[in-house]
Amino acid sequence: MIIEAVAATVTIFLYATLAAASDWDRGVSLYNKGEYRAALVEFQDIVMERADAAGAWYYIGLCEFKLKRYDRVELPLSHAIDLLEIQTPSSADIAGAWYTIGISHYLQARYEKAIEPLKRYIELNSKAAREIDRSARTALARSYFFLDRFDDALPLLASAGEKTSIANSERTKEIAANFYYRGAIFFKKEDDDHAIAALHEAVKGNPEDVPALELLCESLMRKARKSNSDARWNEAAEVAEKLKAIRDDLKTANILGRAYLGAQRFDSAVGPLEKLAKANPENGQAWLYYGISLSRSGRLRKAMEALEITIQLMPESIPALAELGYVYEADKQYQQALRVYEKAYAASGEAALKEKIDRVRALASQQP
């Protein structure tokens, strides 16, 4: 997120001594040159002599901000606000001080404390018809997001994510990030249509955004399961392949393997799911997915081994038992298939398994 402290525009009253005026000029000059530590000393000298010097308090806060000492920003800027509200209540620097306080809390992940200062900044600038810095809306929206206040975050993310005529890579990535947060909110609300649309925009703006690619895959797969959509499964697999090109690890193997399974691209699923299962020897679900990919791609012997391991890890898994029964049946090992199907039926009572038992029993009776 692009963040800048709001530079002071405070009109400074004449100081009682030439020394104070000299400190002011030196402080402003040093600040403008980026020499914030030296500038800070000058402004601290001023407030030691003139405690009511609003501009000096303001610049102390800005110097601390520029030095990334965010926990030291609020106190001097609060002094500046109190003084400015008396001395020049229409000053734009009051809003600027609220902005810098809010951003400082945000950068420390103190999201609850960031909200009110940022809201105050937006309110003051709105009333004065002044431009509102986009980073303030973004920080406020993300603060709401991190506090799970999603209904408050959504409209701010929408406005913060609006495209502008200013085209630069940082701004494009910031907009993309706001689309990611919108997508994440819709995903949590199980609104996959809106989540997918927002996450597509996030990936379009930042094609290497790993969290956006991950969440887009998950949303596409959930939508595919709900709607039984082959197109969504295939789209999820395509996105997962893009994710693998950026980050090839076990987490990606899990996503890619599941997407391939849903798309019925079983041969393609074997590689990532084997990697996942062998890296997680005690994870029954990983072995189940691996076993299904082997089974449906016709690798019956390996499928038997993987599914037997699955059942050792999850003895009551109906999907594992049903799949192992299918593998034995496909391999014409009807007695083994019957044994497994009967175990699955005893545990679940599913009518479909009863039909399989009857079919396999008939096939077994015909074997010599």
Single out the residue in 133, 159, 185 at which a domain terminates.
159
What is the domain count for the chain?
3
* Residues 145 and 183 occupy one common structural domain: no
* Residues 143 and 3 occupy one common structural domain: yes
User: Could you write out the DSSP letters of every residue in 155-167?
Assistant: HHHHHHT---S--
* Residues 4 and 120 occupy one common structural domain: yes
290: domain CATH number is: 1.25.40.10
* Residues 174 and 122 occupy one common structural domain: no
* Residues 15 and 135 occupy one common structural domain: yes
Single out the residue in 264, 296, 315 at which a domain terminates.
264
* Residues 282 and 168 occupy one common structural domain: no
* Residues 19 and 155 occupy one common structural domain: yes
* Residues 83 and 214 occupy one common structural domain: no
Q: What residue type is assigned to position 124 of the chain?
A: L
- Alpha helices per DSSP H over the chain: 18-32, 36-49, 54-66, 74-87, 92-107, 111-127, 134-146, 150-160, 169-188, 192-205, 210-227, 230-246, 250-262, 266-279, 284-296, 300-313, 318-330, 334-348, 351-366
* Residues 11 and 69 occupy one common structural domain: yes
pTM reported for the whole predicted model: 0.84
Single out the residue in 248, 264, 280 at which a domain terminates.
264
Please state, in angstroms and rounded to a whole number, the distance separating the CA atoms of residues 332 and 270: 23
- Asked if 94 and 130 count as a contact pair (C-beta separation under 8 A), the reply is no
Please state, in angstroms and rounded to a whole number, the distance separating the CA atoms of residues 316 and 286: 16
Please state, in angstroms and rounded to a whole number, the distance separating the CA atoms of residues 103 and 335: 70
* Residues 276 and 146 occupy one common structural domain: no
Residue whose token pair is 């890619």: 256
End-to-end distance of the chain based on CA atoms, in angstroms? 74
* Residues 260 and 306 occupy one common structural domain: no
Q: What is the pLDDT along the chain (368 residues), one digit of tens a residue?
A: 555 655 555 444 434 344 566 778 899 999 999 999 999 999 999 999 899 999 999 999 999 999 999 999 999 999 999 999 999 999 999 999 999 999 999 999 999 999 999 999 999 999 999 999 999 999 999 999 999 999 999 999 988 656 555 557 788 889 999 999 999 999 999 999 999 999 999 999 999 999 999 999 999 999 999 999 999 999 999 999 999 999 999 999 999 999 999 999 999 999 999 999 999 999 999 999 999 999 999 999 999 999 999 999 999 999 999 999 999 999 999 999 999 999 999 999 999 999 999 999 999 888 77
> Phi and psi of 13, rounded to 5°?
-70, 155
* Residues 242 and 299 occupy one common structural domain: no
- The residue segments making up the domain with residue 365 are 266-368
